[in-house]
Structures are given as C-alpha cells and as structure tokens.
Amino acid sequence: MSQPGQPLNSSSGFSLTTVQWLICFIAAIGFAFDIYELLMLPLIVRDALLELGKIRPGTKEFTMWFSLLFYVPAVAGGIFGLLGGYLTDRLGRRRVLTWSILLYAFAAFAAGFSTSLPMLLFFRCLVFIGVCVEFVAAVAWLAELFDNPKQREGVLGFTQAFSSLGGLSVAMVSIIVASWAKNEAPSILFKSITLPALQLPAIALPSFLSFLGTIENPHAGWRYLLMSGLIPAIPLILIRPFLPESPAWAAKRESGKLRRPSIAELFSPALKRTTIVTTLMFTCSFGVAFGAIQQMPQIVPGLPETKEAIAKALEARFPAEKQEALKAKLAAEGKSEVDITKAVNLEIRKVAGPIEQSMASHATERQEVGGLVGRFLLAILILFVASRRTLLRMFLIPGMLLMPIIFGYAGTTSLHYLEYGIFVAGLLTVAQFSFWGNYLPLVYPVHLRGTGESFAANIGGRLIGTCFAGVTQWIAVYLPIDEPYPTKVAYTAAGVAFTLYVVNFIASFWLPEPGPESLHE
C-alpha cells in the first residue's frame, strides 16, 4: 500500500492494486445503491399512498403527499448532505462514506415497517441524508486516489456506471417482489429470465412496537422493495477494515496544511462562477430525472396495455359478482357505505397495484439499461473529448429534440413505444450524472472538494432538482385539458423535460473548463 500523501498508482497504465480494486468495489456499491434508493420511491409511492393514506391518484391530497415524500427528504438530504460534505473535508473521506452507507441501509429497511405516511416520510428523510452524503464522499475519495488523469477519469466514469446497475436492480427487484407478493413467477431482464414462484413472509411489527399501529397489507410488494435497501451494508462491513484514507487528504492533514473548508469560499471571486453554474446545471439534470423520467409509474397506468392487463386480472380474480358479494356481506355486518367502498377498493388495489408496479418496473428496467449505456458511453468519450462543454452538449442537444416526443407522444399512446423512448431518455439524462461526478473534483481544491461537490449535488441536485417531481404533479393537476390524469402527467413531463434541457444547454456556455493543474494541488 502507498504511504500517506502518495497516490496509490501514479503510473501511466490502467492496472490497479488489490487495495484499489477494493476501494473501487465499495465505491461502486455506494453509487449503485445511491440510485437504487432514489429510484425506489417513484415505484412505491402510488401504492404506499393508497395503503397508508387511502388517497386516490389525481386528487390534491395525493399530489400534496406525493410532493412531500419527494421534497421533504430532498430538503433534509440537501441540508445534511452539505454538512456531510463539510465533514468529508474535515474528518476524511473513508469514515464519512462508511457511516453514510450504513445510515441509509438501516433507514431503508425500517421504512418497510411504516404504518403511517409520517413514519414513511421520516425514514425516507434518513435514507436521503445517507445517500446525499455518500455520493460526495465517494467521488472525492476516488478522485484523490489516482495521480494519472486518464486513469482517474476512467475509474470515476466506470465506477459511476454502477449507478445505473443500481437503477436496473431496483427495477428488477420491484418486478420480483410484485410477483412474489402474489405467489407468481416473475420474469426479468426484458422477460428473458423467469424465476420460480415464491410466497414472501408476511411483514409485521414486533409486539413491543405495536403502539406504532398495524400493517394493513403484510404482503405489499412496496414494503419488500423498501426493505431490500439493507443489502449494501453487508459487503461494507466485511471490506471496511481494508480501506485506506484518501492519500491527498491524509497528507495535507498530517503536514498541517489542510485548510478549514468554508461554504463562503465557494462564492469567492475565483470560484463564484463555478459554484453558481454547476449548481444550476446539476439542478436541471436532476429536474429532468425526477420531473419527467421518474414519473413513469404515474404515466404507465393510463396506457392501453396496462388497462387491459388489469381488466383481465380483475375478471379472473375479483370479478363483478365477487365485488357485489363482498358489498352485500359487509352491508349485512352493518358497515357504512364509506367502509364498504374502502374494503372493495382495497381488494381491487391488491389486484391492480402489483400489475401497475410490474409494468412500470419493466419500463423502468429499459430506462436503466439506457442509463447504463449512457454512463459507459460517457466514460469512453471523456477519455477522448477534451472540452467538457462539448462533451456535455453531445447529450443535451439530442435531449432537447427528443424529450417532447418521448413523453408527449409515446407516453400518451403506447407502452411499447414508451419503452423504446424511455431507453433513449435514460441514456441522455443519466449520462449527465456521471459527467458531474468526473467534472466537479477537477474544479475545487482538496480542502473544498467535498464541500463544493456537496453544494452542487445536494443543494442543486437533491434539494432543488428533486422538487420537480412535485412540480410536474401540481402542473398536471391543474392542466386545463380534458384528459385522464396519467395523460396529463405525460404531457407535463414532456414540457418540464424540454424546458430544463434548454436551460441546461444555455447555461453550458458559462461552464468553466477545468484548468491543467494537478488534482492534488
């Protein structure tokens, strides 16, 4: 292992030591489950609101809670993520990275036991805090381990590509748990692989926590999906003892040259333009992801293929005569009309919910494959395209042209067309996240690297950009057209994505090009 203060590999080649492979592996896990956790909420929020709050999509109450579940955790993640960036510069990259992953793994598992919307909101806040801190610590850590610029660019690009594997994983896990919740055999990877049928165990609170309430549907697929976030903690616990601290950060600390990080310094004359432009552009990149791409679970239920699948399933499992029999039984027991309606709707949701989740997850699966292709494409192009502005515009210009077609046309006519379109949308948008992971470490000095990255990623991306999930929902509610709610969401997503791509393209003209100085200076 290299001595503190020396890069782990300063050769001109791309070979990695065992320690470097371990570092890349644990960072890749962090990146993967960063996106795994963020993309989980769009897949579960509809069913969670229906079960925990009895709130119907398209209502103002649904839109309010939808916005809260997206935005309040983003605010918490942005604020504490900025603090985490500061602590990354003060306490070191490794320590902050480790504890952030453990935090969101625990919170994700606990969220699966939620008995109310406030309880779910609380644990999603903890998840976001962990995710926001982890991203900044991991990027700063990796960027400082490699002295060779080409090697550093390649490692940052390819490890961040695992983010899309995280997105693909959450789509596949969502399909699996939606099927296993019904004791059916799930098909994943574009339905090319079929797994055996399985009945997952019922989820129940321990008796000493009964004061928190009861779990109405102990086999709800969205609960299993939330709890799967525990997975990344397992390899982390095993590998952590072998992980070194960033040599660049450790050397400055031991020599007494590590300056105290300062948020105010981000707006000094030398860094003001960098901070403002990168924060704005990070906001736009995240805004497209959450204001358009992550609206898929709200768009898919309105497409003809989904309606047909639900109608067939209801005819087979809960036909009209069974619905009437249930109503008569509950009426004979003296239940009110409101209670009878709720009971019938609950049974309908038990049939329709997993179908909507599964079909939305299949579409998300294609989007994440597109994102994976985009990240690898970015990782390759970044080795050959010197200008960062030019590189970013290679994704922005096609996006401006295609987003209105993908959401405004395909998103309102056919799931088949939308699955092809969302692949392209994922490629063009998700590649930008890898771009920022490579770019930001190059424009901030060591003592400000975590703080600067955190401001752009957490204040711009997580805190402001994520709120576009709610913006799209609110616009859709008040959109003055006579169309079903999912169609309104699709049209709104098209407009939001187009607008943000245009703003990002214009802002790119002010994006500073990184200087030739060493990353470790």
Mean pLDDT is lowest, of 34-43, 135-144, 326-335, for: 135-144
The pTM for the full model equals 0.71
Phi and psi torsions of 156, nearest 5°: -60, -40
> Is pLDDT above 80 for 302?
yes
Of 117 and 95, the structure prediction assigns the larger pLDDT to 117
pLDDT of amino acid 506: 97
Structural domain span for residue 419: 18-510
> Is pLDDT above 80 for 245?
no
Span 437-458, mean pLDDT?
Answer: 81
pLDDT of amino acid 292: 94
DSSP string, 164-193: HHHHHHHHHHHHHHHHHTTT---EETTTTE
Q: Is position 7 within any domain?
A: no
pLDDT of amino acid 518: 43
Mean pLDDT is lowest, of 97-106, 107-116, 151-160, 374-383, for: 151-160
Calculate the dihedral angle through the C-alpha atoms of 215, 218, 220, 226, rounding to the nearest 10 degrees: 70
pLDDT of amino acid 277: 95
Q: Is position 1 within any domain?
A: no
Of 407 and 466, the structure prediction assigns the larger pLDDT to 407
As given in the structure block, the two tokens for residue 295 are 């609206």
Span 339-356, mean pLDDT?
Answer: 82
Q: Is position 13 within any domain?
A: no
Residue % of the chain over a pLDDT of 70: 92
Q: Is position 9 within any domain?
A: no
- AA identity, residue 188: I
Angle, nearest 10°, between helix axes 415-439 and 337-381?
A: 50
Q: Are 40 and 254 in contact (CB under 8 A)?
A: no
Of 245 and 102, the structure prediction assigns the larger pLDDT to 102
Residue % of the chain over a pLDDT of 90: 23
Residues 396-445 pLDDT 10s: 999 999 999 999 999 999 998 999 999 999 999 989 988 987 888 888 88
**In angstroms, how far apart are the furthest CA atoms of the chain?**
81
- What is the tally of structural domains in the chain? 1
Position 345 confidence tier, pLDDT thresholds 50, 70, 90: confident
pLDDT of amino acid 90: 75
Q: Is position 152 within any domain?
A: yes
Span 135-163, mean pLDDT?
Answer: 72
DSSP string, 247-286: HHHHHHHHHT--PPP-TGGGGSTTTHHHHHHHHHHHHHHH
Span 298-315, mean pLDDT?
Answer: 90
Q: Is position 11 within any domain?
A: no
If DSSP codes are grouped into helix, strand and coil, which group holds residue 146?
strand
Q: Please report, for the domain that includes residue 30, its CATH number.
A: 1.20.1250.20
Q: Is position 347 within any domain?
A: yes
Span 449-470, mean pLDDT?
Answer: 82
> Is pLDDT above 80 for 159?
no
Measured between alpha carbons, how far is residue 178 from residues 103, 171, 186, 192, 219 in Å? 26, 11, 8, 17, 9
In terms of DSSP bridges, do strands 187-188 and 193-194 run parallel, antiparallel, or are they unpaired? Answer: antiparallel
> Is pLDDT above 70 for 519?
no
Measured between alpha carbons, how far is residue 96 from residues 135, 139, 242, 257, 466 in Å? 10, 12, 16, 21, 23
pLDDT of amino acid 476: 92
Q: Are 404 and 497 in contact (CB under 8 A)?
A: yes
- AA identity, residue 369: V
d(CA 359, CA 353): 10
Residues 179-194 pLDDT 10s: 887 777 787 766 777 7
Of 258 and 449, the structure prediction assigns the larger pLDDT to 449
Q: Is position 361 within any domain?
A: yes
Measured between alpha carbons, how far is residue 449 from residues 89, 141, 446 in Å? 7, 10, 5
Mean pLDDT for all residues in the chain? 82
As given in the structure block, the two tokens for residue 103 are 């935090």
